[in-house]
Amino acid sequence: MPEFRLYNSLTRSVEPFAPADGAKVTLYTCGPTVYNPAHLGNFRTFLFEDLLRRALHMRGWSVEQVMNLTDVDDKIIKRAAERSISITELTDPVCETFHADREFLRIQRAEHYPRATAFIPEMIDLVKRLEANGTAYKADDGSVYFAIDKFEGYGRLSRLDTREIRAGARVAQDDYAKENAQDFALWKAAKPEDEACGAVWDSPWGRGRPGWHLECSAMAMAILGETIDIHAGGVDLVFPHHEDEIAQSEAATGKPFARFWCHGEFLLTDGAKMAKRVGNVSTVADLRAEGVSAAALRHFVFSTHYRKQLNLSGAALEASTEAVRRIGDFSDRLSREKAGSAQLAEAADTLLIEATTALSDDLNAPRALGALFDFIHAANRAFDATGTDTSALARARNVFRQVNAVLDVVPDRGTDDSVLASWVDQQLADRAAARARRDFAAADQVRKALEEKGIAIEDSPTGTRWKKVR
C-alpha cells in the first residue's frame, strides 16, 4: 500500500502520517456550537472528518474520535438570554437534531461526544496549572487571561507576525480577528446574563464560566491524552481557536498538543461563506425537503478536494443525484449478476489500487470517485460480454464494498427513497391544491419540477400515481 499522507497546517506541507502508537489514531474534531441546527457548511467539515476517519480505518488503524458539543459560549448565552431560557433548555433539543442529521448523512458515530458543561472541573484544573506556572493571570475585571507573550510558540499555527502580538492588551470575547491577537480569556467572571441562564460555576476565581478555547483543550486532554495524533476542524478555526488551544495546552504540559492539524475549506453559497450570521444557510432539513439524498450530498461534497472551496448549487446537487443513481443502478446489477470475467477482475484490481492510492494521498476523494466511475464503466462492459467466473464476481463485489465503505455513496433503497417519496407527496399535494383553486399554471410548474427530478405522474380516477423514470 502507498504511504498515507496528510496535509499538516502546522508545517504547511503534506507529510506521511501514522498514529504515534502504530495502531490507534487519536482524533479530536471540533464539534458544533449547539444554539441552532448545524448548517450544510458545518456538515461539509464533519463530512471531511468522516472521510478522514473512514480512510484511517481503510488503512487498518483503529480510531478513537472525540467530537465535542459546545454547549456554553458567548453565542449560546446571548441566544438563551434573548429567549429567557436556560442554556440547557436551548442546547438539549439542538444536540438531538445534530445526531439525527448526522445519522441521515451517514456520518459515523464518534467514540465520544463530550458536552463542555460536563467538563468544568477539568477546565478549572487546566487554568490552575497555567496560573501556577505564570502563563495565566487574573485581571481586574475578575476574569482569568492567558498571557500570550509567556508562550514562545504563540502564533506558529496561524503564522501570526510576532510584531502583531499585543501582550498585556486583553480580548474577552470568544471569537476575534487576527489583528486583535491579545491575551485571551480562559475563565470569564460571571455577568448577570450568565447567572440568568445557568451558565455559571464556582471556581477559585469566583463564579464564572469557561472561555470557548479552554473547553476543547480540557476535553481533548481529559479523554485522549496530552498529545493527540490529529486535531481537525474548518479553516476558520485556525485563528484564534486552534492557536489558543495550542497555547493553553502546551503551556500546561510542555508537550506538543497535536501532531497533525487538519483543516477543511468552506462551503459557499453564491460565493460567500455559508454562515449563520450571513443568513445564507441551508440545513439537512432543507435538503430532505428538496428530496436530496444523503448519498447525493456525500457525492457532491467528495467531488471537490477538502482543501478547496466548494459552492453549493441546485445544479450541482442535481448532477450528484444523477451520479449516485448510476452508482446505485450498478450496485443493483452487481448483486444481480451471477458471474464475471477476467476483465471484471482486472477492473476491480485497478479500482482497489487507484482508490487506495488516491485516498492515501491527502484524502483525494475526487480522484477516488473518478476511479469508481471508470470501474463501473469497465465492469458494465464486462458484464455485457457475459462470463462464467464466479471468483471474479466475488472480487468485484468485495472491492466495490471496500471503496464504498469509505465514500458511502450508494443510495439507500430505504431512507433515500423514502426522502424522495415524501418530497413527491408534498409536491403532489401542492399540485392538487393548485388545481382545486384552478391555478393551472402553478399545477404545471409542479409537474415540471417533478419531471426535472425524473418523476412521471399519471392522473386516474382513484388519484395521482407517480413513478421514477430515470
State the residues that interact with ligand AMP by CB under 6 A: 30, 32-33, 41-42, 44-45, 233-234, 236-237, 266-267, 273-275
Least distance CB 267 / ligand AMP (angstroms): 4
CB of 245 to Zn ion, least distance (A): 6
Spatial separation of the C-alpha atoms in residues 386 and 392, rounded to whole Å: 12
HEC letters along 20-34: CCCCEEEEEECCCEC
Q: Quick one: what does residue 216 bind among Zn ion, ligand AMP, none, with the CB cut-off 5 to 8 Å set by partner type?
A: Zn ion
For ligand AMP, the closer of residues 135 and 217 by Cβ is 217
Give bridge partners of residue 468 from the DSSP assignment: 455
Which of residues 28 and 61 has its CB atom nearest to ligand AMP in the complex? 28
Of 29, 48, 51, nearest to 40 by C-alpha is: 48
Asked if 20 and 229 touch (Cβ cutoff 8 Å), the reply is yes
- The interface partner of residue 275, options being ligand AMP, Zn ion, none and the CB cut-off 5 to 8 Å by kind, is ligand AMP
The C-alpha cell of 330 is what? Answer: 450498478
In the complex with Zn ion, the residue whose CB is nearer, 30 or 368, is: 30
Residues 322, 324, 328, 329, CA torsion sign? positive
For cell 469497465, the residue is 378
Residues 9-38 that bind Zn ion (CB under 5 A): 30
Contacts of 76 (CB under 8 A, 6+ apart): 33, 34, 35, 70, 87, 90, 91, 199
Distance of closest approach, residue 36 Cβ to ligand AMP, in angstroms: 8
Max distance between CA atoms of the chain, in angstroms, equals: 82
Nearer to Zn ion, 248 or 341 (CB): 248
What is the rounded CA–CA span in Å between residue 235 and residue 266?
7
Q: How far is the CB of 453 from Zn ion (least distance, A)?
A: 39
Given ligand AMP, Zn ion, none, residue 273, with its beta carbon under 5 to 8 Å by kind, binds ligand AMP
**Window 207-236: residues binding Zn ion (CB under 5 A):** 216
| Residue reference for cell 483503529 | 62
- The CB-of-7 to ligand AMP minimum distance in angstroms stands at 16
Write down the least CB distance from residue 212 to Zn ion, Å: 7
Q: Which is nearer to ligand AMP, 310 or 351 (CB)?
A: 310
Residue nearest to ligand AMP (CB): 234
